């Protein structure tokens, strides 16, 4: 399966997510509005006027909030992928279109970085990375990419390139936190392995929570 635009041409499996609660809205039957819900007290605060988006997805899922209108600029700095201990670290990487991704060989043996689009297998680039050297690449197309090393076949990573700076990888428990999201309407794209699902949500308040449907 080839994803030319994340979440659009990807096969939609199901509506995984839906807004359950937006800032300050406590679950029914719980504390009155003047008393914060217990869970809210543990949510990290975003900058004033911006929203902390939290939620629950599958373990290791990529959750990206694409604004319904416009594309925010990529954050400054590079995304770092290290080659160390004959592994790619991290093994799941998220970057924004236009944001440099630096592939570092952090050890004393030679490696290689071969990046291809998932599904089509079309090569994005294929370079050698000598010990303690790095190669930087800026992706111009969103989608899912597979990262391998020709020298060490066990070395594998997945790279998801998105059209937004607002993204996260869910924890081992499936939870995720996306900080400093401007209020507004978003397309929430959830990538779980090669499967993608999306839903439109409105984000507002200091804290917006997203839950998979049916949980």
Contact set with Cu ion (CB under 5 A): 111, 149, 151-152, 155
CB count within 10 Å of CB 97 equals 17
Residue 191 CB, nearest approach to Cu ion (Å): 25
- Closest by Cα among 150, 204, 184 to 21: 204
Calpha distance 112→165 (Å, rounded): 28
- DSSP H helices, the chain, are none
Token pair of 133, please?
């050297």
Per DSSP, the residues of 155-186 read -EEEEEEES-S-EEE--TTSEEEEEEEPSEEE
- Is the Cβ of residue 116 or residue 151 nearer to Cu ion in the bound state? 151
- Is the Cβ of residue 155 or residue 189 nearer to Cu ion in the bound state? 155
- Is the Cβ of residue 18 or residue 106 nearer to Cu ion in the bound state? 106
Residue 138 CB, nearest approach to Cu ion (Å): 22
- Is the Cβ of residue 83 or residue 99 nearer to Cu ion in the bound state? 83
CB count within 10 Å of CB 71 equals 13
- Is the Cβ of residue 25 or residue 92 nearer to Cu ion in the bound state? 92
Residue number closest to Cu ion, CB atom? 149
Residue 103 CB, nearest approach to Cu ion (Å): 11
Q: Is 100 helix (H, G, I), strand (E, B) or coil?
A: strand
Token pair of 83, please?
């080659």
Per DSSP, the residues of 112-124 read EEEEEETTT--EE
Residue 133 CB, nearest approach to Cu ion (Å): 13
Residue 169 CB, nearest approach to Cu ion (Å): 23
């Amino acid at each position: 399966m080839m994803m030319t635009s994340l979440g659009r041409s990807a096969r939609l499996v199901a509506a995984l997510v839906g807004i359950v609660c937006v800032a300050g809205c406590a679950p029914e039957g719980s504390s009155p509005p003047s008393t914060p819900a217990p869970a809210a007290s543990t949510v990290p605060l975003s900058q004033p006027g911006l929203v902390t988006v939290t939620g629950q997805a599958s373990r290791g899922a990529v959750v990206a909030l694409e604004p319904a209108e416009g594309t925010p600029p990529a954050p400054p700095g590079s995304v770092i992928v290290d080659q160390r201990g004959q592994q790619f670290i991290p093994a799941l990487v998220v970057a924004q279109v236009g944001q440099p991704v630096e592939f570092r060989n952090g050890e004393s043996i030679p490696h290689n970085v071969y990046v291809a689009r998932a599904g089509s297998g079309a090569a994005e680039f294929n370079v050698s990375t000598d010990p303690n050297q790095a190669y930087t690449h800026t992706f111009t197309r969103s989608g899912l990419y597979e990262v391998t090393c020709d020298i060490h076949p066990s070395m594998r990573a997945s790279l998801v390139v998105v059209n937004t700076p607002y993204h996260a990888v869910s924890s081992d428990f499936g939870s995720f936190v996306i900080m400093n999201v401007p209020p507004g309407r978003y397309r929430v794209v959830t990538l779980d392995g090669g499967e993608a699902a999306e839903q439109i949500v409105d984000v507002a308040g200091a804290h917006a929570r997203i839950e998979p449907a049916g949980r």
